[in-house]
Structure 1
């Protein structure tokens, strides 16, 4: 029987990859007087719902989605959190 899951996916640039958007935001924050800000990195946050036979199956699907479309594994890291949605009455 298929179950529904909610996933939160976080995609960030690998530490070795230059982040020009992060540099621009850090500069802007310093210009606004936030001198204590250091090391800004910009990423993506994605939420999605999916159906799967088990949590393990859902995680396998999410790994494939991230590798194939949601993240660029050459320059980005990703992680996700997953929770089973309560069954509707």
Structure 2
């Protein structure tokens, strides 16, 4: 079994209204000095097998097809 973590984030230049809302809420809660907040998604995935390179390629394909909107999002795949 291979375990991986996929992190999906918005590309630079893409507006992030949820990040802005979190940034404002942190200020309202008294957390001063927060300059910028960008939100993202994390997926922890387990795949069968022991070929790490194949798993990474398969996980990247999953991102391209479903887990990330590659027009506006970047992703990284880390085998853990």
User: TM-score, normalized by length of structure 2?
Assistant: 0.93
Structure 1 residue 53 displacement after superposition: 5.3
Match of 1:5 in 2: 2
Distance 2:26 2:50 in 1: 46
Distance 1:64 1:5 in 2: 16
Partner SS state of residue 60, structure 1: helix
Aligned equivalent of 1:66, options 39, 63, 76:
63
Partner SS state of residue 27, structure 2: helix
The 4+ residue runs of structure 1 with deviation greater than 3 A are: none
User: TM-score, normalized by length of structure 1?
Assistant: 0.84
Gaps of 5+ in 2: none
Partner SS state of residue 11, structure 1: strand
Match of 2:20 in 1: 23
What do you get for the CA RMSD once the two structures are aligned? 1.1
Match of 1:36 in 2: 33
Q: How far does the alpha carbon of each residue in 1:10-66 deviate from its partner, in whole angstroms, 9 at most, with x for none?
A: 000011100000000000111111121111001001111002451110111011000
Partner SS state of residue 79, structure 1: strand
Q: Tell me if structure 1 keeps the 8 A contact 2:2–2:50.
A: no
